[in-house]
Amino acid sequence: MKNVIQFGTGAFLRGFFDWMISEVCNKTDFKSKITVIQSTSRGLADAINSSSEYTLYARGIEAGEPIVKKYQIETLDKCIVTSSDYDAFLALANDESYKYIVSNTTEAGIKYAPEDTKDAPASSFPGKLTQLLYARFEADLDGFTVLPCELIENNAGELKKIVLRYAEEWNLGAEFAEWVETKNKFCNTLVDRIVTGYDESMGESNPLSNTCELYHLWVIEGTDVGIPFREAGLNVVYTDDLEKYRTRKVRILNGAHTSLIPYALLEGEETVLDAISNPELKAHLKGCLSEVLPTLSELYTEDELKNYMNEVIERFTNPYIKHKCQAIALNSVSKFKVRCLPSIKAYYEIYNKPPQHLSVACDKLIEFYKKGTPCDDNELIEYIKSHTREEILSSGRVFGEDISKYIAG
């Protein structure tokens, strides 16, 4: 057995990683169980410890038809609550069967907490991980393969950096720091799957029961981690260039959301499915994506980009996912700067002219902040409401620079 310690009881890991391990165990000779770590008094520990098996429904469009796939997940073993059973948590370090650590503690989870100390249960995930690793080191055992799923850039690198900071501040010694560096494998990863959580319409009373879309992708930086994901037919990619995949996801998938949503809300659409069902909005989205694809031609072939774009559009048409436009609209300006502006500038560099459809997306963003229901910094909203389009594009106050030449008039 090559077992896993999982930080996080949430729906995402139960609909992504835990399902993956279930598929691997069912389809290959690889065997594994997952011990879940719950960091707070609130969570699903009682449910996991009373009946760890649950049902996952993967729902979406396949070959143009709605489809639901049902999976019985039996990979969870037990759940430990660190605040009430800290000794049991540290005891995991002495069990050589544990080879992997996976986490999804939200984007805010990989943060340094100055109040954490080595002698009491840490409040932060990196603090808890440091305590577990130190117990492993003191047991004179090799370390773990660490696979964080938090949606931040360089997630494993940032996590290791904080672990080493605790090691220094807690005076755990140079030998421990070297052991962290040489006996553990920290792998940056990029996850992609919409997990929609418990759904009463499935007729399940088990709170662990879960729903997700059909699509999944896990990109892992580096070499094979020893779990036969691909032998089980899973969409797992090993690469030395994780940024290539992140750029594609941010500019096409996330960029599609950001270029569509302000326009959709101005048109009164409630969900992404509503928006993509609107012919005018769908044409706008396809136009935006047609301008994004050429900017990624140095990273992917034309066919690869078109296939990914078509996957994204198909995912948007998933009838089982009620993705609220207003929720996606949170902090739309900062999202536009990260997700859409690089494509706009790259398009301008290639063609020496502004992109038409992405320029419309920018104008709709401004209009949404002026007339719609934006959720953002109040000073930013007021600035946009009280200034002209030309001032907004050129001042740098909104987009961090003068972008007027990149946006069609």
Residues 6 or more apart from 185 whose CB is under 8 A from it?
Answer: 143, 144, 145, 146, 222, 225
Q: Inform me whether the pLDDT recorded for 108 exceeds 90.
A: no
What pLDDT, on a 0 to 100 scale, did the predictor assign at position 266?
98
Q: What is the pLDDT of residues 302-343, one digit of tens each?
A: 999 999 999 999 999 999 998 899 999 999 999 999 999 999
Cα 57 from Cα 74, distance rounded (Å): 14
For the chain, residues classed under CATH 1.10.1040.10 are 242-406
Q: What are phi and psi of 192, to 5 degrees?
A: -150, 100
Q: Let me know how long the chain is.
A: 409
Provide the percentage of residues in the chain whose pLDDT is more than 90. Answer: 91
Provide the percentage of residues in the chain whose pLDDT is more than 70. Answer: 100
Q: Inform me whether the pLDDT recorded for 203 exceeds 90.
A: no
What pLDDT, on a 0 to 100 scale, did the predictor assign at position 319?
94
For the chain, residues classed under CATH 3.40.50.720 are 3-239
**Yes or no: is domain 3-239 CATH 3.40.50.720?**
yes
How much is the average pLDDT of 388-407? 97
Q: What is the pLDDT of residues 238-296, one digit of tens each?
A: 999 999 999 999 999 999 999 999 999 999 999 999 999 999 999 999 999 999 999 99
Who has greater pLDDT, 42 or 123? 123
Residues 98 and 78 sit within 8 Å (Cβ to Cβ): no
Cα 114 from Cα 120, distance rounded (Å): 13
What pLDDT, on a 0 to 100 scale, did the predictor assign at position 101?
98
Q: Inform me whether the pLDDT recorded for 47 exceeds 80.
A: yes
Cα 226 from Cα 245, distance rounded (Å): 22
What pLDDT, on a 0 to 100 scale, did the predictor assign at position 347?
98
What pLDDT, on a 0 to 100 scale, did the predictor assign at position 62?
85
Q: Inform me whether the pLDDT recorded for 42 exceeds 90.
A: no
Residues 1 and 21 sit within 8 Å (Cβ to Cβ): no
Q: What is the pLDDT of residues 208-248, one digit of tens each?
A: 999 999 999 999 999 999 999 999 999 999 999 999 999 99
From residue 223, how far is each of 5, 27, 236, 323 by CA, in Å? 21, 22, 12, 35
Name the band, by pLDDT with cuts 50, 70 and 90, for residue 200: confident
Q: Inform me whether the pLDDT recorded for 41 exceeds 80.
A: no
Going 345 to 349 to 354 to 355, the CA torsion angle's sign is negative
Query: What is the crossing angle of helices 255-266 and 332-339, to 10°?
Result: 140
Mean pLDDT of the chain, nearest integer: 96
With H, G, I as helix, E, B as strand and everything else as coil, classify residue 39. Answer: coil
Q: Inform me whether the pLDDT recorded for 380 exceeds 90.
A: yes
Cα 361 from Cα 340, distance rounded (Å): 9
What does the block give as tokens for 35?
């011990």
Q: Give the pairing type, strands 210-213 and 189-192.
A: unpaired
In the chain, the N- to C-terminal Cα span, in Å, equals 62
Name the band, by pLDDT with cuts 50, 70 and 90, for residue 39: confident
Name the band, by pLDDT with cuts 50, 70 and 90, for residue 51: confident
Q: Inform me whether the pLDDT recorded for 40 exceeds 80.
A: no
Q: What is the pLDDT of residues 342-374, one digit of tens each?
A: 999 999 999 999 999 999 999 999 999 999 999
Q: What are phi and psi of 149, to 5 degrees?
A: -110, 10
The upper half-sphere exposure of residue 302, i.e. CA atoms within 13 Å in the direction of its Cβ, equals: 3
Name the band, by pLDDT with cuts 50, 70 and 90, for residue 52: confident
Q: Give the pairing type, strands 65-73 and 54-62.
A: antiparallel
Q: What is the pLDDT of residues 58-91, one digit of tens each?
A: 999 888 889 999 999 999 999 999 989 999 999 9
Most confident residue range from 27-41, 187-201, 287-301: 287-301
What pLDDT, on a 0 to 100 scale, did the predictor assign at position 167?
98
How much is the average pLDDT of 44-60? 94
What does the block give as tokens for 262?
């302000």
The upper half-sphere exposure of residue 104, i.e. CA atoms within 13 Å in the direction of its Cβ, equals: 17
CATH of the domain spanning 242-406: 1.10.1040.10
Name the band, by pLDDT with cuts 50, 70 and 90, for residue 387: very high
Q: Give the pairing type, strands 76-81 and 34-38.
A: parallel
Q: Inform me whether the pLDDT recorded for 159 exceeds 90.
A: yes
Beta strands per DSSP E along 222-281: 236-239
DSSP class of 373: -
